[in-house]
Chains A and B, each alone.
Chain A
Amino acid sequence: MQYKDYYKIMGLSRNATQDEVKRAYRKLARKYHPDVSKEKGAEAKFKELGEAYEVLKDPEKRAAYDKLGSNWKAGEDFKPPPNWDEGFEFKGGGFPGGGAGVFSDFFEQLFGRAGFHTAGREQHGFHMRGQDSHAKIYINLEDSIRGATRNISLSSPEMDAQGYVQVKQRSLNIKIPKGIKPGQHIRLSGQGDPGSGGGKPGDLLLEIAFNPHPLYRISDTDIYLDVPVTPWEAALGSKIKVPTPEGNVDLKIPPNSRQGSKLRLKGRGLPAKIPGDFLVVLQIALPPANTDRAKAAYQKMQQELDFNPRLSLGV
């Protein structure tokens, strides 16, 4: 078991006042809240912060923690000294800071798991439908275009008969319906929390997100692709091949197309009642002037074309 330096986690010195503890928590909670932060590892940091705050905001727990001494280093292998908690009384209380997360072994060793001994839902009635549970799953664009079957693994905290929380792993094969969009939900009936007293189990609600695609970008039901073209293809017009998730298509580029022009292939986006479009964004690629012939071609353009791209800048 590793020692956790709750002061370090909260960026506080050991003699911080209770007000400073609260202010530090508020500030860091805003920074690392999983709904707010896009930083990597924000969720883990937020949990750690919740645990640190749970201890430091409570004068009893803080005093007990301080009694362990300040010579421990974060991550160091830790065993609580015998009778370390003699004379301290911990009042159960809720665990608001870290949400429903499970605290570290270090925390549980010191303060027990009393907080998880919740009354249970049996109190509410004899036939209680189980809760719906939620998960987010990442699929590939192609799964939505063609429909697919995906195996997902879910871990969920479940309460055992003694009222302890255990993290359970399970694996499900699910059908990804054709045309599903990012942000939509799939409901799997009866795959949520078990009911109590013979009540029906809850449902599992899966929120769909897409993995980033190496080629395509998705916006609602539209698919975007950057396509490099030569200056003459853009200037003179041409027919080029463009890869779409459903295979290559021939695309006509109109003459005098410009950098960044968007060409729309109607209905070739994500399938839906009103299917999305496929948008080709032209990227003009310049051939390198690395041979005498290439240089001569550029010089010819220089002589023949009266072109000032900086006209709008007034120079």
Chain B
Amino acid sequence: MNSHDLLPVHTGTVIEDDSLTLEQLCHACDVQTDWVISLVEESIIEPQGNEIHVWRFSGASLVRVRSALRLQRDLGLNLAGIALALDLMEELEKLRAQLKIVRHD
């Protein structure tokens, strides 16, 4: 028996698609509401729902918002640049994943 067995087991909840509120997303990423709204306006993240108070974000938005924050801070990108960089990187990820599936090695 190793020491891990003595620790309690934590059961979390899975963040289902389109379940995060604007407030939860902002708190999770430690960013201002206004900034997240500007990300939505730039179509960097796309919530379900027409009005701000019913907006629901996916778990994937967590990753995009935090990437956006780092790209702005570290590389000085503006919102349009962030949108382009994130879209291209997502495309690259998809192609890499497809390549893995078709490559026979």
Residues of A within 8 A of B (CB): 26, 29-30, 33-36, 38, 46, 50, 96-97, 99, 129, 131-132, 134, 149, 151, 171-175, 177, 180, 183-189, 191, 202-207, 217, 219, 224, 226, 283
With a CB–CB cut-off of 8 A, which chain B residues contact A219? Answer: 97-98, 101
With a CB–CB cut-off of 8 A, which chain B residues contact A96? Answer: 73-74
Q: How many A-B residue pairs have CB under 8 A?
A: 100
Instruction: List 22 interface pairs A-B (beta carbons < 8 Å), by A numbering.
Output: A35-B70, A35-B71, A36-B89, A96-B73, A131-B30, A132-B27, A151-B7, A173-B7, A173-B8, A174-B9, A174-B10, A174-B12, A175-B9, A175-B10, A175-B12, A177-B14, A184-B15, A184-B59, A187-B12, A202-B27, A205-B62, A217-B101
Residue among B10, B13, B75 having the largest count of chain A Cβ atoms under 10 Å: B10
Per-position binary interface string of chain B over residues 70-84, scored 1 when its CB falls under 8 Å from any chain A CB and 0 otherwise: 110111100000000
Q: Tell me if B100 counts as interface (CB < 8 A to partner A).
A: yes
- Contact A132/B28 with A175-B12, A207-B62, A219-B101 known, Cβ cut-off 8 Å: yes
Chain A's closest residue to B71 (CB) is: A35
Q: Tell me if B22 counts as interface (CB < 8 A to partner A).
A: no
**Apart from A132-B29, A185-B59, what 6 extra A-B contacts exist at CB < 8 Å?**
A29-B75, A38-B96, A97-B74, A175-B12, A186-B14, A224-B101
With a CB–CB cut-off of 8 A, which chain B residues contact A205? Answer: 15, 28, 62
In the complex the two chains form, what is the Cα distance from A181 to B28 in whole Å? 20
In the complex the two chains form, what is the Cα distance from A250 to B30 in whole Å? 51
With a CB–CB cut-off of 8 A, which chain B residues contact A29? Answer: 74-75
Q: Tell me if B60 counts as interface (CB < 8 A to partner A).
A: yes
Per-position binary interface string of chain B over residues 1-29, scored 1 when its CB falls under 8 Å from any chain A CB and 0 otherwise: 00010011111111100000000000111
With a CB–CB cut-off of 8 A, which chain B residues contact A203? Answer: 28
With a CB–CB cut-off of 8 A, which chain B residues contact A177? Answer: 12, 14
With a CB–CB cut-off of 8 A, which chain A residues contact B8? Answer: 173
In the complex the two chains form, what is the Cα distance from A191 to B96 in whole Å? 34
Residues of B within 8 A of A (CB): 4, 7-15, 27-30, 59-60, 62-63, 66-67, 70-71, 73-76, 85, 89, 96-98, 100-101, 104
In the complex the two chains form, what is the Cα distance from A2 to B70 in whole Å? 29
Residue among A36, A38, A96, A174 having the largest count of chain B Cβ atoms under 10 Å: A36
